[in-house]
């Protein structure tokens, strides 16, 4: 779990597969037991982070089916898996389906008093609404994500939600030197946390956002250096989605330099 939260995805996948193997000696050879589903859920999240969306989707669907099969009604694990199916749809561009899944997951997981899961899906829902241009809705969901993270004492999620808030502020801001310096200062706070806590996934995100902001100001050389750092980190840790994001942004550096 620590490896997954930090973004050390190769180690996370390996350790989770080992845990699933040993768990079969406890719950039996068949899949679908309570502990198996918890471990499988975390492996699916790791697969999403690594860009293996088809494998993650199949695993999450299997979890949902087994939870329905063995339970009288969908419970906490089912709704978390349902929410992550929404994230996959989000990444695939089906924003309508993603929104429905996020909304249902948050509604039910709030009843289960799971602030961590509520923060995660509120943050993703806020990002989705920002992409759609619904900035008021985005602000509301990101504020909820921050609130859930603070209530649960999840500082890692607090910082990720803060990064989403910064992205929304960038989308809303007027281009002035003052607003740019303020945004960079906020990014630096998140970056310092990511470095201190050794969280390469969060650090990659921050570096990519900083690079995009610098590119807007024509600072292609510095932006390129930040993106190169992000790409090395993403490749080392198997973070293929973040690698693709950094590489796409790097194309902007080449266009500026051309």
d(CA 246, CA 229) in angstroms, rounded, equals: 9
Whether 158 is covered by a domain: the verdict is no
The per-residue pLDDT for 253 is: 67
Mean pLDDT over residues 24-31, rounded?
77
Domain of residue 12 covers: 1-72
Cα dist. 101→81, 159, 160, 175, 228 in Å?
10, 24, 20, 35, 35
Tally of domains within the chain: 3
Residue 198 has pLDDT above 60, yes or no: yes
Average confidence score pLDDT of the chain: 91
217 and 142 share a domain? no
Residue 172 has pLDDT above 90, yes or no: no
The per-residue pLDDT for 255 is: 58
d(CA 134, CA 126) in angstroms, rounded, equals: 9
Residue 227 has pLDDT above 90, yes or no: yes
| CATH code at position 123 | 1.25.40.10
Residue 257 has pLDDT above 70, yes or no: no
Whether 160 is covered by a domain: the verdict is no
Contact 172, 135 (CB under 8 A): yes
Assign 224 a pLDDT band (cuts: 50, 70, 90). very high
pLDDT for 77-116, tens place per residue?
999 999 999 999 999 999 999 999 999 999 999 999 999 9
Q: Give the three-class secondary structure for 215.
A: helix
Write down the number of H helices and E strands in the chain: 13, 0
Better-predicted residue by pLDDT, 40 or 214: 40
Whether 205 is covered by a domain: the verdict is yes
Whether 162 is covered by a domain: the verdict is no
Better-predicted residue by pLDDT, 87 or 221: 87
- Residue that terminates a domain, selected from 119, 153, 187: 153
């Amino acid at each position: 779990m620590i490896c997954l939260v930090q973004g050390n995805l190769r180690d996370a996948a390996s350790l989770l597969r080992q845990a699933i193997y040993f768990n079969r000696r406890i719950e039996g050879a068949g899949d679908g037991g309570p502990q198996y589903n918890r471990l499988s859920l975390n492996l699916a999240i790791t697969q999403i982070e690594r860009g293996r969306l088809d494998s993650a989707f199949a695993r999450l669907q299997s979890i949902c089916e087994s939870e329905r099969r063995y339970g009288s009604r969908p419970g906490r694990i089912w709704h978390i898996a349902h929410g992550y199916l929404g994230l996959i749809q989000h990444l695939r561009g089906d924003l309508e389906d993603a929104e429905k899944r996020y909304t249902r997951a948050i509604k039910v997981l709030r009843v289960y008093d799971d602030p961590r899961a509520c923060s995660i899906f509120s943050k993703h829902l806020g990002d989705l609404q920002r992409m759609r241009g619904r900035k008021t809705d985005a602000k509301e969901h990101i504020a909820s994500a921050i609130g859930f993270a603070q209530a649960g004492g999840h500082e890692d999620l607090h910082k990720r939600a803060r990064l989403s808030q910064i992205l929304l502020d960038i989308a809303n801001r007027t281009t002035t030197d003052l607003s740019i310096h303020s945004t960079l200062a906020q990014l630096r706070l998140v970056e310092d946390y990511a470095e201190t806590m050794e969280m390469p996934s969060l650090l990659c995100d921050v570096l990519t956002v900083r690079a995009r902001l610098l590119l807007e100001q024509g600072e292609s050389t510095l932006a390129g250096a930040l993106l190169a750092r992000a790409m090395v980190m993403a490749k080392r840790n198997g973070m293929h989605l973040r690698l693709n994001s950094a590489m796409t942004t790097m194309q902007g550096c080449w266009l500026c330099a051309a």
